[in-house]
Chain A
C-alpha cells in the first residue's frame, strides 16, 4: 500500500494512508499516515456501524489538511471494543504461504528477510 501511495503522490496527487500496522507503513516511507488501533480486515470499523465508519473516514481525510511535511503521522483516537482473541474468533483464513511453510519450515527465513524465491 505504501509503495502505491508513494507513486501516486509523486505523480502530483496528495495522498493519505490508514494503517493498522503503522510501524510498518511508516517504515516504508509515506507522505501522510493515520494509525488506527483496529484489527486487520476491519480498517473502517464494524459492519453496519455507519457512524463509526464515518468518523474514521472524516478523521483520515482530515490528515490531508493537517499534515505539513512528509512522514506526517497521526494516531486516530478510536478504540476497538474487543480483545485480540475476540477479534480473531471464527476467522477461517489459511493463505497458501502458511500451508507451504508448515510443510517446508526451512523456507521461513526467506519470508522474514524478503529474499523471495523466483516464480516457477
Chain B
C-alpha cells in the first residue's frame, strides 16, 4: 500500500505554515456536507469542469489583478465562462499565487477540455458541457464567492442541464 498523500510536501515553508493553520481552523468547524446521488451512469452524463486558476478568455474581461495589488487581502471573486473547445491560445491565467507557465503552455494542465472530449469519444462520459467555469482561487474573504458567484454558477449549470461537475484546483 502506498503511504498517504502528504498535503504539505510540495509547499514552500511559508505556505506550509499557513495551510497547517487553516486546516486546524477548519477542523474546529464542522458543517453538514451536502450530497446529491448520481442519477445516471457517468457514460450518459453531461460533464462540466471548473478551474480555480483564474482563466479568462482573451475576448472576455480579465480577472482584476490591479484590485488585488491595491488591497492584497482581496481576490477577484467573480467567475468566467470558458466554452468547450477553448485552448491555451484563447486564454490568459490571472492567478498571482500559482505558477501560470504550465497552464499557459497547455491549458489541459489546469482545465482538461481536450482530455474530457477524448473520454467522451471513448464512451467513458456522455459528453462535455458546452460551457465550463473559471474562478480565481485566492479568496480570503469568501462571502461574495459563497453568496453570489457560486449560486450564479450553480444556476447556470442547472439551466444548461449539466449532470455532474469536476472541480480542479490550481
Using CB atoms and an 8 Å cutoff, list the residues of chain A in contact with chain B.
Answer: 1, 3-25, 27-31, 35-48, 50, 53-54, 56-58, 60-62, 64-65, 69-71, 75, 77, 80, 84, 87-88, 90-100, 111-114, 116-117, 119-120
Contacts and interface: CB of A to CB of B under 8 A. Distances in A.
Contact of B25 (A17, A57, A114): A114
Interface in B116-152: 116, 118-119, 124-125, 135, 137-138, 140-142, 145-146, 149-151
B35 A69 contact: yes
Contacts of A100: 72
B169 A23 contact: no
Contact of A27 (B26, B50, B71, B101): B26
Interface in B6-45: 6-12, 14, 17-19, 21-23, 25-27, 30-39, 41-42, 45
8 contacts: A4-B146, A13-B163, A29-B32, A30-B33, A50-B108, A53-B109, A70-B33, A117-B73
B34 A70 contact: yes
Interface residues of B, number: 89
Nearest to A47: B106
Interface of B: 2, 4-12, 14, 17-19, 21-23, 25-27, 30-39, 41-42, 45, 47, 50, 52, 68-74, 96-103, 105-106, 108-110, 112, 114-116, 118-119, 124-125, 135, 137-138, 140-142, 145-146, 149-151, 153-155, 157-158, 162-170
Nearest to A31: B35
A77 B2 CA distance: 8
A37 B9 contact: yes
Contacts of A77: 2
Nearest to A97: B72
User: Looking at A28, A44, A53, which has the most chain B CB atoms within 10 Å of its CB?
Assistant: A44
A35 B169 CA distance: 11
B21 A1 contact: no
B47 A5 contact: no
Contacts, number: 257
Given A21-B11, A100-B72, A111-B140, 18 more contacts: A4-B167, A8-B150, A8-B154, A14-B38, A24-B7, A24-B19, A29-B30, A40-B11, A40-B170, A41-B100, A42-B102, A57-B119, A58-B119, A61-B47, A71-B33, A75-B2, A94-B96, A119-B141
Contact of A44 (B41, B108, B150, B165): B108
A12 B36 contact: yes
Contacts of A120: 70-71
Contacts of B158: 11-13
In the complex, the 9 A-B pairs of residues with the closest C-beta atoms, listed nearest first: A27-B26, A47-B106, A7-B150, A96-B72, A70-B33, A23-B7, A11-B154, A10-B34, A39-B10
